[in-house]
Structure 1
Amino acid sequence: MEIPLSELHPFKDHPFKVKDDEAMMETADSIRQYGVLVPAIARPDPNGGYELVAGHRRHRASELAGKETMPVIVRDLDDDQATIIMVDSNLQRESLLPSERAFAYKMKLEAMKRQAGRPSKENCSQVGNDFGKKSSEVLAEQVGQSKNQIFRYIRLTELIPELLDMVDEKKIAFNPAYELSFLKKEEQVDLLDAMDSEQATPSLSQAQRLKKYSQEGHLTLDMMRVIMGEEKKSDLDKITFTSDTLRKYFPRSYTPQRMQETIIKLLEQWQRKRQQQHER
């Protein structure tokens, strides 16, 4: 059935980000041209209208395409059934952010555990047919991850939003982020301060030490600053110049790529000159 976009509300605590990015604009163009080919799934909202279960991106793309309605399949679903459908419809996407995967795994696992705990007549879920298996084992098989990796992702939901954003932005790698998730919330806030003052993000070994000191009750802001101020091995092998430092030596028309090529040529000439001097 066709339902007005204004009557469709987002799913509560929907973990997937709906961005107006290039992919969204392409979807909007497709809907403008062909309409919505796959109906969304929604359930009646007790407060009026409908709660979207699957189809949040199609809903936004329909708005951008100037549509007033979209095709929707309306189903009576309880909270756990709706959560599992909502997560499954999004997990198939190729480019999921770590935060999206973390909250999706957490929501689905909690829903599966609740379903598994109900009497079999009520429990016609994905878990109900896997007798003797834990919900986490079933979920791991469904998403193609190890049970351990599922729980490592779920640990990321313990990070404060600012740190989790840095994981999504690839400023903090997954493994250090997992270790940082064991820090208390107030320690994570202090870590932001230490990272800012030292202009650094933690490596795996630094994150593991931060976790160790936290668990021992010895982690202070000063200690965080000392740890974050250490030179990483990768930094010892790296020399960085700002464009402002180099710009005065080159014509304005030079691109960064051309500047780099010129520097390499000059260094090669300097090296040849030094070799000639040594041979004399």
Structure 2
Amino acid sequence: MKSSAKKIELASVDDLFSTEEGRQDAKLEKIQEIPLSELHPFKNHPFKVKDDEAMMETADSIKQYGVLVPAIARPDPEGGYELVAGHRRHRASELAEKETMPVIVRNLDDDAATIIMVDSNLQRESLLPSERAFAYKMKLDAMKHQGERVDLTCAQVGHKLDGKKSRDILAEQVGQSKNQIQRYIRLTELIPELMDMVDEKKIAMNPAYELSFLRKEEQVDLLDAMDSEQATPSLSQAQRLKKYSQEGHLTLDMMRVIMGEEKKSDLDRVTFTSDTLRKYFPKSYTPQRMQETIIKLLEAWQKKRQRDQER
């Protein structure tokens, strides 16, 4: 005969003797000192952590005062913790020869972690186009995933599932137009070599947007054409490359012809290669020093010419 008694759950000893204040305090987030070796970078982190002058200044500050703002991390199923916010502080702590750093550990799903990771970096004053492009894409994807779920209200992005499109909300949050956000996201279709050239300002934003519509193999061929002609695409050239690609007529030879065109801006430009100038300077001179010396000589010549005209 089965017992009709209900299963009784007994409170633990800790629960019996703990106070309500203590139980509430246990639920609060706490700052923990976690070894740097146990903190791993966020998967596909789009923001570059460079050992530049700003990083060295941060490292000096941490060496003197420690990390003043705790990082945010989440438990890593494979061990340790995945950094959500604080990648630069982590690197600066390494350079400052610290062994641990203060961290707030939160249990976050992928979408919530992505949104926090992006938001904590978008506030930086200077962002590379590639950083902004991949950050917008990652956050928009996370917001869309949240919108597809009916068991939450998208608290992390500050809106309920009221039918408002994620890209509208993102545009409001980052202070950019929807079209501009889409243009940035489109840059993620560029191959890494072309994206690097956008970051280095060798290719402007508008031509880069047009080039992103080329197939990946066409983009690789374009690198070849750019190298052989020692030129980068103007907006009109990029638009033609896109047009021929969409028509299925774009070839490497056509790219070389287009890239070999004389641009209007080149008509008033005089170019000297370093090999041409090298014979006029000591071997120890770098291209930068040669340029600076030439500018000084031209300025001195211009002043002399002005004095001669005044006589």
TM-score, with structure 1 as normaliser: 0.91
Q: Which residue of 2 aligns with 1:232?
A: 263
Alignment of 1:255-274 (within 5 A): 255-264=293-302
- 1:82 matched residue in structure 2: 113
Name the aligned partner's letter for residue 259 of structure 1: L
Q: Which runs of 5+ in 1 are unaligned?
A: 273-280
In structure 1, the residue matched to 2:6 is none
Work out whether residues 229 and 259 of structure 2, in 8 Å CA contact, stay in contact via their aligned partners in 1.
yes
CA distance, structure 1, for counterparts of residue 276 and residue 78 of structure 2 = 61
Alignment pair present for 1:172 and 2:210: no
Alignment of 1:20-59 (within 5 A): 20-59=51-90
2:248 is matched with which residue? 217
Q: Give the whole-Å Cα distance in 1 for the aligned partners of 2:267 and 2:305.
A: 20
1-structure distance, mates of 2:82, 2:281 = 59
- Counterpart position of 1:199: 230
One-letter code of the match for 2:90? H
Report the counterpart of residue 8 of structure 2 in structure 1: none
The secondary structure found in structure 2 opposite 1:70 is strand
Cα offsets for 1:175-222 (capped at 9, x unmatched): 000000000000000000000000000000000000000000000000
Distance of aligned partners of 1:198 and 1:267 in 2 relative to their CA distance in 1, 3 Å threshold:
farther
Aligned to 1:278: none
Cα distance between partner residues in 1 of 2:42 and 2:278? 51
Give the secondary structure class of the aligned counterpart of 2:157.
coil
CA shift, 1:245, in A, is 4.6
- Encode CA deviations 1:215-263: one digit per residue, 9 max, x unaligned: 0000000000000000111101212235665676799999223222244
**Contact 1:116 / 1:128 at 8 angstroms: preserved in 2?**
no
- Provide the rounded CA distance (Å) in 1 between the counterparts of 2:280 and 2:225: 35
Aligned match of 1:277: none
The counterpart of 1:118, out of the listed 143, 149, 162, is 149
Percent of residue pairs identical: 82
1:267 to partner: Cα distance: 6.5
Q: Distance in 1 between matches of 2:228 and 2:281?
A: 32
Alpha-carbon spacing, 1:114–1:196, altered in 2? closer, same or farther (3 Å)? same
Query: Please, what is the CA RMSD of the aligned residues?
Result: 2.4
Gaps of 5+ in 2: 1-31
CA distance in 1, matches of 2:182, 2:60: 38
- Secondary structure at the aligned position of 2:155 is classed as coil
Pick closer, same or farther for the CA change 1:250–1:218 going to 2, 3 Å. Answer: closer
Change (3 A) 1:74 1:122: same
Distance verdict in 2 for CA 1:250–1:198, change over 3 Å: closer
Match of 1:132 in 2: 163
Out of 92, 109, 113, the position equivalent to 2:140 is 109
Return the letter of the residue paired with 1:65.
A
Moved more, 144-153 or 234-243: 234-243
Question: AA paired with 2:225?
Answer: A
Equivalent of residue 17 in structure 1, options 10, 25, 48: 48
1:172, CA displacement in angstroms?
Answer: 0.3
Q: How many residues are treated as equivalent by the alignment?
A: 272
C-alpha displacement of 1:269: 8.6
The question of whether the paired residues in 1 share the 8 Å contact of 2:133 and 2:187 is answered with: yes
Distance 1:259 1:246, change over 3 A: farther
What residue is the counterpart of 1:145 in the other structure? 176
Structure 1, residues 102-151: CA drift from partner, whole Å, max 9, x if none? 00000000000000111154643315337231000000000000000000
Report the CA distance between 1:76 and its aligned residue.
Answer: 0.3
Contact 1:160–1:188 (Cα < 8 Å) also in 2: yes
